[in-house]
């Protein structure tokens, strides 16, 4: 399969009065054509900043922002594009949906108008044609009585309906890549399953690729072809979903998988990894997971492990898989 998106050595840093926050630090991964890649990790690990960096939505201020690396999309380095070129690409070739659809929709425009807008701008459709297409899109995302919905305002719809509308807007121009940042986190389980199902159907019908950000391993199991695990701005493990679920190598991935609820199996209390993601301002040369890791060795506290192969198409950054003893 051909690469659609190739992120190489991407770093996004923010300079604050207290120091530099390396929100994303030297990460590389690919999304192939027609593939779903899930970026997984607890909140504050750099998943959303990675997505925003790809979409060109990180505000560069002074030396803050994307400070290194490249983002190739369909052969072109997005970091070299002008604001206008990026805007054309967004909505056309790549689009994004967020956890809170309400924050992306305009409260004073009808659903119909908001659906028609990208079609008029990017597809150059006339008013009538755009409205007709908007109507079709509403039915496509499984909403009944589309004509009535066309004239509704966002506040009149439920969270699940709004997320369907966001998806309709996101797919309206036939993007090659859909980036979804926790798209079902705010929804109840039944609606969540319907939305994921819908994304899978669209992907199958259109050969679109999906980059899905989630902290939910259940969602990963449902959706992913390939999984990238992030921790404190770094990739700590990656691999094909079957391999990674069957044999997670990094203690962080092992912890995440232990915290996943098992269907049909009542658990008294869900396991959660003890401790928390380190303060980005207090990171020192080490494995950033060391103070939460039950396998921590001396080397882990003073040296950062490199991401290296631990199987076929599976990589992990952990001293357990390196000849660590030579460094101690």
| Interacting residues toward ligand SF4 by CB under 6 A | 250-251, 287, 289-290, 293, 295-297, 300, 305, 318-320
Other residues' Cβ atoms within 10 Å of the Cβ of residue 307: 18
Identify which of 325, 261, 260, 273 has the alpha carbon closest to the alpha carbon of residue 299: 325
* Contact between 48 and Mg ion per CB under 5 A: yes
Distance CA 92, CA 170 (A): 9
Nearer to ligand SF4, 29 or 289 (CB): 289
Name which of ligand SF4, Mg ion, none residue 319 binds, using a CB cut-off of 5 to 8 Å depending on partner kind. Answer: ligand SF4
Name which of Mg ion, ligand SF4, none residue 51 binds, using a CB cut-off of 5 to 8 Å depending on partner kind. Answer: none
Q: How many Cα atoms sit within 13 Å of 39 on the Cβ side?
A: 31
Q: State in angstroms the smallest separation of the CB of 127 from ligand SF4.
A: 57
Which class for 108: exposed (0-12), middle (13-18), buried (19 or more C-beta within 10 A)? exposed
Distance CA 164, CA 171 (A): 11
Q: At what angle do helices 159-171 and 189-206 cross, to 10 degrees?
A: 10
Name which of Mg ion, ligand SF4, none residue 112 binds, using a CB cut-off of 5 to 8 Å depending on partner kind. Answer: none
Alpha-carbon dihedral sign for residues 243, 247, 248, 249: negative
* Contact between 214 and Mg ion per CB under 5 A: no
Nearer to Mg ion, 24 or 137 (CB): 24
Segment near Mg ion (CB under 5 A), from 43-51, 113-121, 252-260, 300-308? 43-51
* Contact between 133 and Mg ion per CB under 5 A: no
Q: State in angstroms the smallest separation of the CB of 325 from Mg ion.
A: 37
Per CB under 5 A, residues contacting Mg ion are 48
């Amino acid at each position: 399969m051909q690469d659609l998106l190739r992120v190489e050595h991407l770093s996004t840093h923010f300079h604050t009065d207290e120091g530099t926050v390396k929100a994303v630090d030297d990460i590389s991964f690919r999304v192939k054509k027609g593939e779903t890649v899930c970026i997984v990790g607890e909140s504050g690990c750099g998943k959303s900043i990675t997505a925003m960096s790809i979409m060109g939505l990180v505000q560069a201020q002074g030396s803050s922002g994307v400070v290194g690396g490249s983002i190739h999309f369909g052969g072109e380095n997005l970091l070299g594009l002008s604001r206008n070129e990026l805007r054309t690409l967004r909505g056309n070739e790549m689009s994004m949906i967020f956890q809170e659809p309400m924050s992306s929709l305009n409260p004073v425009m009808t659903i119909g108008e908001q659906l028609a807008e990208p079609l008029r701008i990017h597809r150059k459709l006339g008013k009538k044609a755009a409205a007709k297409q908007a109507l079709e899109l509403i039915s496509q995302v499984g909403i009944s009585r589309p004509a009535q919905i066309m004239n509704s305002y966002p506040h009149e719809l439920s969270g699940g309906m709004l997320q369907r509308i966001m998806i309709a807007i996101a797919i309206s121009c036939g993007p090659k890549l859909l980036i979804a940042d926790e798209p079902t986190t705010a929804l109840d389980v039944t609606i969540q399953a319907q939305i994921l199902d819908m994304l899978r159907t669209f992907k199958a019908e259109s050969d679109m690729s999906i980059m899905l950000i989630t902290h939910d391993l259940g969602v990963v199991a449902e959706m992913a072809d390939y999984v990238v695990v992030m921790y404190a701005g770094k990739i700590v493990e990656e691999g094909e979903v079957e391999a990674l679920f069957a044999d997670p190598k990094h203690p962080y991935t092992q912890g995440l998988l232990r915290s996943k609820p098992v269907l049909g199996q009542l658990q008294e209390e869900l396991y959660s990894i003890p401790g928390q993601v380190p303060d980005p301002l207090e990171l020192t040369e080490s494995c950033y997971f060391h103070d939460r890791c039950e396998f921590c060795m001396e080397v882990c506290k003073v040296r950062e492990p490199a991401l290296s192969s631990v199987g076929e198409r599976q990589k992990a950054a952990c001293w357990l898989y390196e000849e660590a003893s030579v460094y101690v």
